[in-house]
Amino acid sequence: MRLENKVALITGAGSGIGRDTAILFASEAARVVVVDINDEAGEQTLQLIAEGGGSGVYVRADVSSASDTEKMVATAESHFGKLDVLFNNAGISHAEDEDAINTSEQVWDLTMKVNLKGVFLGCKFGIPALRRAGGGSIINTASFVAHLGAATPQLAYTASKGGVLAMTRELAVIHARENIRVNALCPGPLRTKLLMKYLDTEEKRRRRLVHIPMGRFGEAREIAQAALFLASDESSFVTGSDFLVDGGITAAYVTPE
């Protein structure tokens, strides 16, 4: 069991990458703190963990709220005695996120509040807990667009994920001598609700697939497998990395559509 005796906290665990990761971590013997803002979805993830014989607890938390974030970390320590793995995964992609001219301040602010501030707050309250545990692993969900920029304008999302990438590198350097590793997980285009709500026709999906060398969308479970490596002691010499799981999209030369 690759995560035996470890306690892992996962935000955005009610769906997508977060849910698949929570279930996988539990199957590898981690005790999992399932965090989401959607109670029904979070409880469903917890039920799936239980059905697989795993151990977990659900906490409702808005990652953009300092008090909620402090509460979720405190729950990990009070319920399981420590925190070893912090997966700052929760994020949003707003339907009205466009270019600089057409993206409203409200959409910009909301996106930054969840995607960037949420990671900051997770680290703010999570790092002291990891110190108390003698070290651990932080995984921050960024995106391939933090490397490339998005062909379809989504400026706030892209900028927020670029911020996650930069923050991850700095935190990795700051805490490297404390046995705290900090890495960014950068998924490519995935077959999740977050992306498929935009690629809602076969034509739109085909146009996106042209740019992916592997010729298919990734699956949430494939990102979960990468998160498992970063959470486990197998990645003990990995910190400050931009862990790309993108089907080769950032390696390919493409022209705008």
Task: Write out the catalytic residue numbers.
Answer: 157
Which position has the token pair 């999570």? 126
Residue pair 160/142 in contact (Cβ under 8 Å)? The answer is no
Q: What CA–CA distances, in Å, run from 73 to 118, 125, 172, 214?
A: 13, 7, 20, 38
> Phi and psi at residue 138, in whole multiples of 5°?
-110, 130
Determine the number of helices (DSSP H) and then strands (DSSP E) in the chain. 10, 7
Cα separation, 87 vs 23, whole angstroms: 13
Round to whole Å and give the CA distance between 111 and 43: 25
Contact (CB, 8 A) for 3 and 85: yes
Q: Which of 50, 204, 63, 165 is nearest to 124 (CA)?
A: 63
d(CA 250, CA 68): 35
The letter for the amino acid at 188 is G
CB 39 within 8 A of CB 61: no
Among 31, 7, 10, 28, residue whose Cα is nearest residue 19: 10
